[in-house]
Amino acid sequence: MKKSKENIVVLTRTLFSPPPTDSPTLTWVSRIEKGFALYDGIMLGFKLWRRFGRVLGAFHRKKRR
């Protein structure tokens, strides 16, 4: 059981870890891509929150009169 768990951990790490880069240029390109992906995820979450937050009413501010 322990060996199976270790095998799963190793496979998961190799699956989700970025490939090793040999040049500094590729390292910077990888960092920029991660930055764009982070920005894209934040914008998607914000747009979904604006669209569905009002429907659900969970985080909607009440308008003052």
Measured CA to CA in angstroms, residue 23 lies from 4, 27, 31 at distances of 35, 7, 13
Beta carbons within 8 Å of 27's beta carbon, 6+ residues apart: 21
Which secondary-structure segment (H or E) carries 39? helix 24-56
pTM, to two decimals: 0.56
Write out the chain's pLDDT in tens, 65 residues: 888 989 999 888 888 777 787 899 988 998 899 999 999 999 999 999 888 876 666 555 666 66
Rg (CA), the chain: 20
Q: What is d(CA 41, CA 47) in angstroms, rounded to the nearest whole number?
A: 10
Q: Where are the domains of the chain?
A: 23-65
Q: What is d(CA 33, CA 35) in angstroms, rounded to the nearest whole number?
A: 5
